[in-house]
Structure 1
């Protein structure tokens, strides 16, 4: 099996996220990631969050999980971050289901999360690359997103390479950088067999996203 795009689910999640996040000034990435996670029908959505990060993306991912009837898990590095995250999410529990939170450093936190379909990390989190390297991606393939990628050495085209941080044998089908907010790097990892060898990549399709605040349109391959 492989990830299959569902335009209906994507559209429903996008509309719900726009309505739920309209009070936030910067919600374009939340809307985009929610749409993608729902459109790919992700059953295990994981976000690596840290103390001080905005909560809007988490709300969008929780909404996506509700539409896919999947599981949304937030990984935080310490108890302080967990408390901050839980308090922020409680303010929006009418639109986002109760979150599942895992506390711990990258290797320990990701150890029990097997079959990740959609993973979001923030480059402002010091161990974001370790979260990626310890991620146990699903056999259907996975979509990975790095937020705030312009913060890496202040350069969107720094030495970061997906192959350098992912588990050995991961087959990166395609990548794209979107200049939304402070930069968003996205990678699609292809489906694998039980033995880890790659299958033939599915045919790509174009995904269109419009920033609700600026009206700017972004088009990329999914």
Structure 2
């Protein structure tokens, strides 16, 4: 089995997020990620958040979980972050799908979550690589996202070098949305790995229209 794209669900989540995130910075990132997460009908959406970070992405992911009847988990480092996060989210969006997990480091909690369909981490924070490496993705496939990709704290980042052993990256793409989104689509069992089946083209589906676009790999 594999993740299946639903243009209608993506469109509904996108419109909902646009209406909800009107007053937030980085709303374009929130809108894109919400539509993408909803379009793939993801059931377990995981993100990392630290006190003081923008909240728009979280709002968008919560909206996506509403439209897929899924689960949105936000991992925060301490109780102060939890308090601030829950307070802001209650004012932004009503969602029973969102839950907050606390860990001394985000990677401690990530390893306990199984069947991740969609994961968003912040490239500006050094622990993002460990969180990706411990992600236990769904057997149907998953979408992994590094936001703020233009500001990565780890030089020379490569998807194949950080993911859990045996994880197959079907395709990856960099999009100039916000401060950059580095996205990898992890395939289900039997999907081809980029190293074993190299291609000069990457297929990307626009979450707003459902149209397919091809990007030439360098």
Q: TM-score range by the shorter chain?
A: 0.7 to 0.9
Q: 2:133 maps to which residue?
A: 133
Q: 1:56 maps to which residue?
A: 56
Measured after TM superposition, the shift of residue 82 of structure 1 is 1.3
Q: 2:164 maps to which residue?
A: 167
Listed one character per residue, the Cα deviations across residues 120-177 of structure 1 (whole Å, up to 9, x for unaligned) are: 0011223111110111000001000000011125x9xx40001111000100011101
> Partners in 1 of 2:86 and 2:214 — Cα distance?
33
Measured after TM superposition, the shift of residue 76 of structure 1 is 1.0
For structure 2, the residue ranges without an aligned partner over 5 or more in a row are 194-201
> Partners in 2 of 1:148 and 1:167 — Cα distance?
22
Q: 2:206 maps to which residue?
A: 208
Listed one character per residue, the Cα deviations across residues 21-53 of structure 1 (whole Å, up to 9, x for unaligned) are: 112232001000000000000000001111221
Measured after TM superposition, the shift of residue 200 of structure 1 is 5.2
**Structure-2-length-normalised TM-score:** 0.86
- Secondary structure in structure 2 of the residue aligned to 1:2: coil
**Structure-1-length-normalised TM-score:** 0.84
The CA RMSD over aligned residues, in Å, is 2.2
Q: 2:80 maps to which residue?
A: 80
> Partners in 2 of 1:138 and 1:175 — Cα distance?
17
Runs of 4+ in 1 over 4 A off after TM superposition: 218-221
Structure-2 change in CA distance of 1:44 and 1:98 (3 Å)? closer
- Secondary structure in structure 2 of the residue aligned to 1:91: helix
Measured after TM superposition, the shift of residue 219 of structure 1 is 5.4
Instruction: Tell me if structure 1 keeps the 8 A contact 2:61–2:72.
Output: yes
Structure-2 change in CA distance of 1:168 and 1:30 (3 Å)? same
1:1-222 correspondence runs (5 A): 1-94=1-94, 96-97=95-96, 99-104=98-103, 105-152=105-152, 158-192=155-189, 198-199=190-191, 206-208=204-206
For structure 1, the residue ranges without an aligned partner over 5 or more in a row are 193-197, 211-217
> Partners in 1 of 2:144 and 2:116 — Cα distance?
10
> Partners in 2 of 1:20 and 1:219 — Cα distance?
28
Instruction: Tell me if structure 1 keeps the 8 A contact 2:30–2:57.
Output: yes
Count of aligned pairs between the two proteins: 203
> Partners in 1 of 2:49 and 2:164 — Cα distance?
21
Instruction: Tell me if structure 1 keeps the 8 A contact 2:147–2:181.
Output: yes
Structure-2 change in CA distance of 1:117 and 1:209 (3 Å)? closer
